[in-house]
Structure formats: structure tokens, C-alpha cells
Amino acid sequence: MLLGREGLRAGWRVLIFLICAALLFVGLRLLLNHALMALAPGFLASLVSMASGKEPMSSAFAMLNDGFLLLAYLTVLAGMARWGRRRFTDYGLQGSRAWRYGLSGLFWGFAMLSALIGMLYVSGHLVFGRMPSLSLAVFDSGTLWAIASLMIAFTEENLFRGYLLFTL
């Protein structure tokens, strides 16, 4: 029931992976919350307000939130790769076409999101307010959101198509 020809069955490996990733993520978040309460209580209050939807989400919040999820995933992935005697890159992080697929996904993701925003604007469901004058702050904000979006995409792709897809 637990063991097959290749050792521990895939379902049990996935369960172990998910439990370890969840425990590590929760542990890291608790450590972060305690550190923020001690060092920057105002920042923690604004994070809680953003998480509850009372304030607009910032790029720092998105990077922090998904950064801890990515750290937990990569840590558990490294452990599972070592346990399974495989390379870290065997779980969807390699291949001769990786860059081509990645850039293609980036292009199509941008195109689809742009089409969605365009349709919302044309239908009147999205209204742009007064546009700020172009400044370094606008560029910085756009750059930070681009980094946050790529980080979120990398995290989600690997969470759902990395170890789990390879194992099952």
C-alpha cells in the first residue's frame, strides 16, 4: 500500500510534499509576523489591512507574500529532490525550450491581460482616473509590480506544474 516498485508511491510522496510545504510556509509566516510586530508594527498593520481588502495591495506586499510561498516551495522541493535522488531541475525547471516557453508565456499573459483590460474599459466596467504625470515614481512602481508579477507567476507555475505534475 505504501511502497511500489520504485519505492514510496507517488500519492504518499505528494502528501508528504504538501504537508511539508504547508508547515514550512506557515512557520515562515509566523516568524515574519513576530519579527514585524517587534521591528515595524505599523508595516504589519498595513499588511493586515491589505490582506483584508481594506487597502489596495502594494507590490511590496505581493512580493513578500509570494516570496515566502516560493521560499517554502523551493526548500521542500530541494529536500524531496534529494530524497528521491534527483536533480533539483528535474521538476520542470530545465529543458532546452525553457526560455522559449517562458518568454512565450510572458508574451501571451501580457496580451491576454491587456485584452481583458481593454474589454473592461470599452464596456465601461473599468474607469481610469486622472493619469499622473510621468515621473521616476511611476516607473519605479511599474518596475516593482513587474517583478512582483513575475515572482507570482514563477511561484504559481512551479507550485502547480513542478513537483506535483512530475510526481503524479
pTM passes above 0.75: no
Phi, psi of 74 (to 5 degrees): -65, -35
- The pLDDT, as a whole number, for residue 93 is 67
Cβ–Cβ under 8 Å, residues 24 and 76: yes
Residue 97 has pLDDT above 80, yes or no: no
Q: How close are the terminal C-alpha atoms of the chain, in Å? A: 16
pLDDT, tens digit (0-9, with 9 covering 90-100), for 69-94: 888 888 988 888 888 888 877 777 67
pLDDT, tens digit (0-9, with 9 covering 90-100), for 24-62: 988 888 888 788 777 777 776 777 777 777 777 777 778
Cβ–Cβ under 8 Å, residues 137 and 59: no
Instruction: Give the separation between CA 148 and CA 142, rounded to whole angstroms.
Output: 10
Q: Dump the DSSP string for 136-168.
A: HHHHHHHHHHHHHHHHHHHHHHHHHHTHHHHH-
Instruction: Give the separation between CA 103 and CA 153, rounded to whole angstroms.
Output: 12
Among the listed residues 43, 31, 69, 75, the one whose alpha carbon sits nearest the alpha carbon of residue 159: 69
Cβ–Cβ under 8 Å, residues 154 and 162: no
Domain residue extents for the chain: 3-167
Instruction: Give the separation between CA 41 and CA 146, rounded to whole angstroms.
Output: 27
Residue 167 has pLDDT above 90, yes or no: no
